Amino acid sequence: MVMESESYEGFVTLQRSVKQLHFGSWEEKESAAKEVKRLAAKDLKTRKLLANLGVIPALVSMLDSDILEGRRLAVQALIELASGTYTNKVLMMEAELLSKLPANINTLNKSSSSDYAQLLLSISYLVNTQVPIPSSNILPFLIGILDSDSSMGTKLDCLGALYNLSSMLGNVGFLVSDGVVHTLLTLSSDQEVSEKALAILGNLVVSIMGKKAMENDPMVPDSLIEIMTWETKPKCQELAAYILMILAHQSSVQRAKMAKSGIVQVLLEVALLGSPLAQKRALKLLQWFKDEKQTRIGAHSGPQTGSTVIASHSNENEMKKGKKIIKKMVKQSLLKNLEVIMRRANTGGESSMVKAFVTSSSSKSLPY
C-alpha cells in the first residue's frame, strides 16, 4: 500500500509539473522546471516519459526569457533530460535550442556559463549522426565562454564540445574564421587543459585553412616546442609533435622558424626519453632537419593528413639516410648536452640507451 501511495503521489507530481510548464505562470514554470530536473535525474525511463509528455519544447522556450534564474533552471533540467538519450537530444535540436543561446556572454554568471557548457557538450555528441548542428550558433558561443573568465571545468566542457564539432571538416572554416586557433594555442600552454586544446588543433591543422592560421600565429612554433619539453605530459608531447610534423612538412619556411626556436635539441631529448609514439614523431622530424641542400621531402614521407596517428612508411633507403642524419646530429649536438639529458633519465636502462644512441655507429634498432 505504501509503495502504491508513493507511486501515485509521484505520478500526480509529474502531471502537475508538466501542466505548469505548459500553462502556468512564470513562477509556476520555474517551480516545474526545478521539479522536472529532480525527476529526470532518477532514471532513463523517467527521462523518456517526460520527453513524451512534451516538456522539452516548453523548457527550451523558457530560454527566451530575460530572467536569469528561470533560464538557469530550464538549462539544468535540459541537462538531466539529455543524459543518456539520443532521442531527447534530437528533440532539443528540433525545438531550436541553439537559436536561443544568449547573444551576449557577459550577461551570464560563472554558474550559468558552466550549465550552458555542460548542455552543449552533451548536444555536440550528435555530430556523428545525421542530425545537423548549426555551426553559426554554437561555435561563437563556445569560443566566447573560452575567452571569458570561466572556470577550468567550464573550459574543459567547452573544449570537449569543440573537439566533437571540429571532427567534422565542414566546421573547420567556421572555427578558424571565429579566431579559435589563437585561443586554443593560448589554452594549450596551460597543462590542465592542454591535451584537449591540442587535440582540437590536431583536427584543424589537417585542413588548409587551419594550417594557414597556425602558420601565421605568433605563438607558433615556440609554444608547441615548449610543450614538447613537458616530460610528465606524454600525450601533450605526442600531439604537439603531430602538429609540428604537419606544419614542417614540405615547408622550408616553417622548418627554418622551428630550427631558429631551438627545436633540434628538444627533439633529440624526446627521441630518447619520450613515449614510443613521441619518439617516432621526433625522429621523423629530425630526419627533415638535415642539410636543406641535400634533402627533399616527398609527399610520401610526411604525415598522413587524414589520421591522428602518424605511421612510418619510409622505404629502406630513407631509413638508412635517416639513421645517418640522426647519428651526425647526435654527435654534433647531443654530446655536449649528454650530461643534462642523463640527469633526466630516471633509470639505468635509460642511461644506457643514451650512451648507446650516441656511441653506436650502426644503430639498427631505431624506429625510423
* Structure confidence at residue 344 as a pLDDT band (50, 70, 90): low
Per-residue model confidence as pLDDT tens digits over 195-228: 999 999 999 999 999 999 999 999 999 999 999 9
Which three cell numbers mark 214? Answer: 597556425
Interatomic CA distance for residues 192 and 186, integer angstroms:
12
Q: Which CATH architecture has domain 1-100?
A: Alpha Horseshoe (1.25)
- The pLDDT value recorded for residue 360 is 41
Q: Where are the domains of the chain?
A: 1-100, 108-219
Euclidean distance between CA atoms 163 and 165, whole angstroms = 5
* pLDDT-derived band at 324, boundaries 50, 70, 90: low
pLDDT level of residue 297 (50, 70, 90 thresholds): very low
pLDDT value, residue 295 = 54
Top-confidence residue, 72 or 339: 72
Question: Mean pLDDT over all residues of the chain?
Answer: 84
> If pLDDT is split at 50, 70 and 90, which confidence band does 320 have?
low
pLDDT of residue 135: 87
pLDDT value, residue 350? 46
Residue whose C-alpha cell is 596517428: 309
Looking at the domain that runs over 108-219, which CATH code has it been given?
1.25.10.10
Residue 309 confidence (pLDDT): 41
User: 356 pLDDT band (50/70/90 cuts)?
Assistant: very low
Question: Given pLDDT bands bounded at 50, 70 and 90, which one contains residue 85?
Answer: very high
For residues 211 and 223, give the distance between their C-alpha atoms in angstroms, rounded to a whole number. Answer: 15
> CB count, 10 Å around CB of 2?
6
Using the predicted structure, report yes or no on whether residue 55 has a pLDDT greater than 80.
Answer: yes
Lowest-pLDDT choice from 178-182, 255-259, 329-333, 359-363 = 359-363
Q: For residue 231, how far is the Cα from the chain centroid? A: 20
pLDDT tens, position by position, 151-189: 999 999 999 999 999 999 889 999 999 889 999 999 999
Q: Is 24 left (phi over 0), alpha (psi -120 to 50) or beta?
A: beta
* Interval 253-273: pLDDT, tens: 999 999 999 999 999 999 999
Query: What average pLDDT score do residues 271-291 get?
Result: 91
Output the pLDDT for position 125: 95
Q: Do domains 1-100 and 108-219 have the same CATH topology?
A: yes
**pLDDT value of position 130:** 80
Higher-pLDDT residue of 323 and 14 is 14
Segment 239-253 shows an average pLDDT of 95
Question: Which band of pLDDT confidence, cut at 50, 70 and 90, is reported for residue 9?
Answer: confident
pLDDT for 317 equals: 64
Instruction: Give the C-alpha separation, 269 to 255, whole Å.
Output: 18
The pLDDT value given to residue 321: 62
